[in-house]
A and B are shown apart, each in its own frame.
Chain A
Amino acid sequence: MTSDKVLRSVDIWMDEGEEFDDEVKNFRKGTVRKIIFIAGCIAAAVVAAGAAMNIGEFHIDFFEIYRIIWAHLTGNVYDENADWILWQWRLPRICCDILAGTGLAAAGVVMQSILRNPLADPYTTGISSGASFGATIAMALGLSLTTSGFAVVVNAFFFALIPTAVILAVSRFKSASPATMIMVGIAIMYMFNATSTLIRLYADPDTQAAIFAWTVGTTDIREWSHVVTMSLFVAAGLIACQLMTRRLNVIATGDESARSIGVNAERLRIVSLLVVSFLAAGIVSFTGLIGFVGLVCPHIARLIVGSDNRYLLPASAAFGALLLLIADIIGHVIVYGHSIQVGVITAFLGAPLLLYLILRQGKEVWRCP
């Protein structure tokens, strides 16, 4: 009898459901698969980092690279030339790859969840362009909100807040849909890009070349102070993002739904956009504009670990680091004797990858809002 079955089920619920141990195990098993993917990406990134550091005129064996790094960390340097080349030339660049890939991919996950839009990332919402513009005027025109050593970063963060504020204002006063917010972001992106180009036209040739290379997106930095600053931004941003992941899951179901489950969607959206702006500014100030990482990595990771942000965020971040390291390797080997900026390679890799995901992916991993 259905009625008996219902009564029994209700009784089971009242008894706190002690007979569902197998189901709990089954549920936890799914979690293990996600953790394996994250661990796999981290392991692959460690290998890719070795491969990327292996490239260069001064040859160092693949396994020797890890030994030299370990020797440096433990204060037992045995090959000073190799140590100097790795620590002064190659390792800062690799750290920058990892930090930029991790941060941009994590920012993409957060943006896609809060705007409930698969096309959202710091680049398509204009946040990266705002940061880029702020950094450009600090570098080319010397105009900055502060005169400290962090002038470029502070400017980048301030200008990254402009698209954030516009998106929030439009969503608040015009009740904009998530799709409209992206269109607003794209409009702002074009505006900032046009202004940055205008400034470049009137800059002196050296500054022009430096800004151009930086605008394309490069991780080729040599100063450890930059790596340390960037890592502080990325670490703080990642921790803040990870702490918000469960609430981000809820907000992805819609604002009314989120509110009924105890999540203030509007407040979470503001906090998330501030964190993403902080994260993007901390990266873009040093690397310039690197597109597609924040857009593509969450989608690829979502195919494997699903849409639960608690796992999607670290999975995308780990995959982002791996993708940027691969882009770095390709950029250094594709043309003999020259290196191509990582931003160009991510665009070449990311654009067809995104098209493939949209056109050929049998299983739907997102739906148009």
Chain B
Amino acid sequence: MGDSDLDIDGLGFGYGNASKVLDGISLKVSGPQLVSIIGPNGVGKSTLIYCINKILSPTEGTVMIQGREVRDYSVKELAKTMGFVPHATSDVFPMTVMDTVLMGRHPHSGRKITDKDVQEAYSILKTLEIEKFAMRQFDELSAGQHQKVVLARGLAQKPKILLLDEPTSNLDIKHQMDVTRILKELSERDGMTVIMISHDLNIASRYSDYIVMMYDKKIFRIGKPEEVITEENIRHVYKVESKVITDDGRPYVILRDPQFRPGPLDDNSFCSGRCEGYMPKYLLIG
């Protein structure tokens, strides 16, 4: 059997002598898959991504990329194999959208930008439906468009493994679905392993091949969405009550709030303008 694209074994991380942020993380991912990492704030999701991408050095355990320890990769070698789409990016001196996306070609193309680089960057912008902004300044775009541009830059690297830190957090629901579906399709067509942090359980459930649920610095559950997204797991990890329903074979979460007592809901009532008294029984996330 060949090496996994990503093989994490007993990974731990802590800042100085302070308590650990990650403990005993083991995970193997290979081939064209979309893997979502979910969990409450502060459980170490971003730290895990940073350890995989060599931004942070693990204090315990190993991270292997295609059979080789990540610390043995040079920064440029790693960028050819693995892309990273951060949650936020600096735009102190904003460039055009096209120039920003073309940065993703840096590990492959050196100093000269070829016509092929421009064509590839443009086709990625078109895939993400932001090609009309190609020559606009990055800082002229909305937060959601920013997120798509940074995602386009990550895709322009044409990596074998793409790590994403909440890539859809600033997008509306349509664009969240579009972007996640594109990631899923690209992973299948390009043989790319996509690992993304998500707070949207329903989006993660709809498009992911596997879900990693983290809790208290550790992996709490790994599995197919229907194995991980359960009422019991959500109660344990997020400390909230929920109702999980199944559609197209995938689980979807409806959150419940026992502390909230809505008044009677008139089916014929229509709310517009001031809406006091119009309270939903369930709150759908996503």
Contact = CB atoms under 8 A, between A and B. Distances in A.
B14 interface: no
Contacts of B93: 112-113, 116, 118, 252, 302, 307, 365-366
Interface string B101-138: 00110110001000110111011101101010011010
B181 interface: yes
Interface in B71-118: 75-76, 78-80, 82-86, 89-96, 98-100, 103-104, 106-107, 111, 115-116, 118
Contact of A6 (B106, B154, B185): B185
Interface residues on A, range: 35 or more
B189 interface: yes
B12 to A, nearest CB: 21
A10 interface: yes
Interface of B: 50, 53-55, 75-76, 78-80, 82-86, 89-96, 98-100, 103-104, 106-107, 111, 115-116, 118-120, 122-124, 126-127, 129, 131, 134-135, 137, 139, 153-154, 157, 178, 181-182, 185-186, 189-190
A13 to B, nearest CB: 4
B126 A9 contact: yes
B90 A16 contact: no
Contacts of B80: 262
A12 interface: yes
Nearest to B75: A264
Contact of B86 (A9, A260, A364, A366): A260
Interface string A89-133: 000000000000000000000001100111000000000000000
Contacts of B106: 246-247, 250, 261-263
Contacts of A26: 135
A205 interface: no
Contacts of B95: 249, 306-308
Contact of B90 (A6, A24, A27, A252): A252
Contacts of B181: 3, 6
A10 B82 CA distance: 20
Contacts of A249: 95, 99, 103
Complex A-B, nearest 8 residue pairs according to Cβ-Cβ distance, in ascending order: A262-B79, A260-B84, A17-B123, A262-B107, A307-B93, A9-B127, A17-B119, A262-B76
Contacts of A365: 93
A352 interface: no
Contacts of A24: 115, 118-119, 122
Nearest to A113: B93
Contacts of B100: 253
A10 B189 contact: yes
Contacts of A21: 119
A307 B103 CA distance: 13
Given A10-B127, A24-B118, A118 B53 contact: no
A26 B91 CA distance: 24
A18 interface: yes
A73 B182 CA distance: 64
A14 interface: yes
A280 to B, nearest CB: 21
A6 B124 contact: no
Contact of A117 (B53, B91, B92, B186): B92
Contact of B120 (A10, A13, A262, A366): A13
A362 interface: no
Given A26-B135, A257-B90, A364-B94, 16 more contacts: A10-B186, A20-B119, A24-B118, A27-B98, A30-B135, A243-B111, A246-B106, A259-B75, A259-B79, A259-B84, A260-B55, A260-B86, A261-B157, A306-B95, A308-B96, A367-B91
B272 to A, nearest CB: 29
A298 B219 CA distance: 49
Contacts of A3: 181
A256 interface: yes
Contacts of B76: 262-263
Interface string A223-255: 000000000000000000001001101101110
A256 B90 CA distance: 10
Contacts of A116: 90, 92-93
A2 interface: yes
